[in-house]
Structure formats: C-alpha cells, structure tokens
Amino acid sequence: MARTPEVRSWQEMRTWQIGLLERATGQSLEAWTERVREQGPGTERALRDWLDGQGVRGYAQLLLVHETFGYPAFLLQSADDLIAGQYADRRALRPVLDAVLLRAAELPEVTVQTRKTFVALVGPRRTFARVRPTTRTRVDVGLRLPGVEPGGRLLVAKGLGDEMAVRVPLAGIGEVDDEFAGLLLRAYDANS
C-alpha cells in the first residue's frame, strides 16, 4: 500500500539551511546575522560577494540573503497555496498532479517540495523528478536520468532544470500509467 509522501514546508527548509550553515561554518545563524549587520552590505550583490569571501556559499548563503533582505512572498506560502497558484488557470490538470503524487507515494522514500512554479520529488539523496504545468493542457514531468536519450515517451526536457535530462508530457490521468510509474522508479533508483 502506498504511503503519503512527506511534504516539506519552507520553515523546514529554513531549519535545514540553518543546520547546513552551522555545520559548514561552526557558527550559529544569530552569530552570522550579527556579522552581516556589522558589515552592513547595502545590496544583495554586496552581501553575496562578502559571504563568498567568507566561504559561505549555496543554500547557507541564500539563507543569509533572505534573513537580511527578506523572504520572497512565495517562500512563505503553504504547499497547498503554491500548488493552487500553479493550477489556478488550468484546473483540469490538477488531477494529473494528484495522480503523479500517488505514483510517487508508491516509492520507498519520497519527499514533496513545492516551489512557486513546480513540485519537486526528492528521494533519499536528491531531486529525481519535477512536475510542472507547462501549458493549459499539459503537465510535464522532468526526470533526472543521466545518460538516457529522448525516445518513446521521453522527450527533451526544457525549462525543468538542467539536471532534468528528459520529460514525460501528461495531458490526462490515464497517462499516469504503469509505464510512467516504471520511468519514475528508474529516475528514483538512479538518484538514490
């Protein structure tokens, strides 16, 4: 029986980023925000440059940028609100997303991360798929399948992130079939 995938909120992502910052630098978020205040960089670019010089990069840097200049509104929204926004003008496609999430729930360990324009499916190691309502009549599922060339149901992935080599276009829930589930499993296994 399929389990319900874990859905991570942005608050949980922030907590993860704080842990990353502390592990990478040995200093707390509070210590870093104080250092940033003392430096007083007036722009995001100036802050990023200063943090680069301090060896703070990636998600830890992004955390400090958001803590300093504020979080974008979409980061503060719930997963439900983000998904509702993605499908607001294409309600007929929402059941396709739901069917993809049910197939993802059949996999051993999947976390769902909602973003402003897509939903990421994350395995134990990294993101293995992205689901995005690309047009008013189609949802694309980008799959991270290194070395796999487009062919059959797999098309060239566009606009789904560089790491998503191929995509599966879905126009209805009937296309979220066993073949699709097999492709999703291949991407999961390749990235676990």
Asked if residue 91 belongs to a domain, the reply is yes
- Residues 3-26 have a mean pLDDT of 79
The fraction of the chain above a pLDDT of 70, given in percent, is 94
> pTM higher than 0.75, yes or no?
no
Picking from 14, 9, 7, the residue whose alpha carbon sits closest to that of residue 71 is: 14
Looking up residue 164, the CATH number of its domain turns out to be: 3.90.1150
CB half-sphere exposure, 98, CA atoms < 13 A: 10
Name the domain boundary from 23, 51, 75.
75
- Residues 95-113 have a mean pLDDT of 94
Model confidence at 65, pLDDT cuts 50, 70, 90, reads: very high
pLDDT > 60? residue 24: yes
Name the domain boundary from 45, 75, 105.
75
Q: What is the pLDDT of residues 43-56, one digit of tens each?
A: 999 999 999 999 99
The torsion angles phi and psi of 121, rounded to 5 degrees, stand at: -105, 120
- Alpha-helical (H) ranges within 4-88 are 10-25, 29-39, 44-53, 58-69, 79-86
Q: What is the pLDDT of residues 140-163, one digit of tens each?
A: 999 999 999 999 999 999 888 888
Percent helix, strand, coil in the chain, to 5, is 50, 20, 35
Cα torsion 19, 22, 28, 30 to 10°: value is: -60
Cα separations (Å) of 112 from 2, 15, 16, 33, 89? 14, 16, 15, 30, 22
Residue 183: per-residue pLDDT: 97
As given in the structure block, the two tokens for residue 60 are: 């830890």
| 92 and 158 co-located in one domain | yes
Q: Which residues contact 31 (CB under 8 A, 6 or more apart)?
A: none
Asked if residue 2 belongs to a domain, the reply is no
- Residues 30-39 have a mean pLDDT of 93
Q: Which domain holds residue 99?
A: 78-190
